[in-house]
Structure 1
Amino acid sequence: MKVAIISGSVYGTAEEVARHAQKLLEEAGLQALFSPRLSLEQLLAAEPQALLAVTSTTGMGELPDDLQPLYAALRDSLPAALRGLPGGVIGLGDASYGDTYCGGGEQMRELFTELGVREVSPMLRLDASESVTPETDAEPWLAQFAAALRS
């Protein structure tokens, strides 16, 4: 199974989590495609069989600037090729921000719902105020995600 990893990062942490996810998914026997600046054309050309979004949150609960173009392209076109695919979201944020905590992840989760992507694992929320190693903290969730994709 080919998993496309979409990421958005402000300071690079979400990108590191996405790179680590790629490595772990490949170790689990899946093909994983990750490019930090993935375009809609590149995403669709890869013909993914599953989607994983890894994103931080910025401002008042928004997506990082580097993810905005792909997010807008997906939202505007709602490509039929992605409908029904399994997927999941890892959201990074800081719980001290209250209502906007992991807002970027929530936006991707809502977009996946609009696209018809089936959530195979509930969104993982990684709290920057509690974790110094989010990539390691994501490992149990990623193992469950990989298992769900293989079954």
Structure 2
Amino acid sequence: MKIAILSATVYGSAEEVARHGAARLEQQGHVIHHFPRATLEQLLKFAPEALLVVTSTTGMGELPDDIQPLYSEVRDQLPAAWRGLPGGVIALGDASYGDTFCGAGEQIRELFAELGVLEVQPMLRLDASESVTPETDAEPWLDTFAAELASRQ
């Protein structure tokens, strides 16, 4: 399956999780394109069959600046080609922020709902106050994500 992986990061952790996830999903036979700073045109040209977004959370639960232009463009255009695609979200945050913990991931989930992207499993929340290796902590979730996608082919 062709999976587009988007990453949104401030300090690089989410991008590292996305790169690690891309390699892991590729080993399982998927065709991966990791778009660290994607444009909508690039994504549509790739024609993904599934979407995975890995995002950190900034400030009071916002998306990082590097994904803001794409997020706005997608919300404005709501690509019909993505309706019904399977998708997933990995969110990085710090639980000490309380209600805004992994808020950026929640924003992506809301966008998925607007787009008609179907989450194949619950969002993974990685807590920076508990983990120093988010890329390896994401592996079980990624394996389940890959299995869910394989069952849909």
**If the TM-score is normalised by the length of the shorter chain, which range does it land in?**
over 0.9
For residues 16-59 of structure 1, give each alpha carbon's deviation from its aligned partner in whole angstroms, at most 9, with x where no partner exists. Answer: 00000100000111111102111100000000000000000001
TM-score when normalising by structure 2: 0.98
For residues 109-139 of structure 1, give each alpha carbon's deviation from its aligned partner in whole angstroms, at most 9, with x where no partner exists. Answer: 1101100000001000000000000000000
Moved over 4 A (4+): none
Give the match for residue 84 of structure 1: 84
Mapped to 2, the partners of 1:52 and 1:125 lie a distance apart of 14
Tell me the CA shift for residue 67 of structure 1: 0.6
Q: Secondary structure at the match of 1:58?
A: coil
TM-score when normalising by structure 1: 0.99
Structure 2 matches for 1:100-115, cutoff 5 A?
100-115=100-115
Unpaired runs of 5+ residues, structure 2, are none
Task: Name the % identity.
Answer: 73
1:31 counterpart letter in structure 2: V
Mapped to 1, the partners of 2:94 and 2:129 lie a distance apart of 6
Give the match for residue 50 of structure 1: 50
Q: CA-atom RMSD, angstroms?
A: 0.4
Q: Secondary structure at the match of 2:97?
A: helix
Give the match for residue 35 of structure 2: 35
For residues 46-80 of structure 1, give each alpha carbon's deviation from its aligned partner in whole angstroms, at most 9, with x where no partner exists. Answer: 00000000000001100000010111111110000
Give the match for residue 117 of structure 1: 117
2:10 counterpart letter in structure 1: V
Structure 2 matches for 1:56-95, cutoff 5 A?
56-95=56-95
Unpaired runs of 5+ residues, structure 1, are none
Instruction: Report how many aligned residue pairs link the two structures.
Output: 151
2:93 maps to 1:98: no
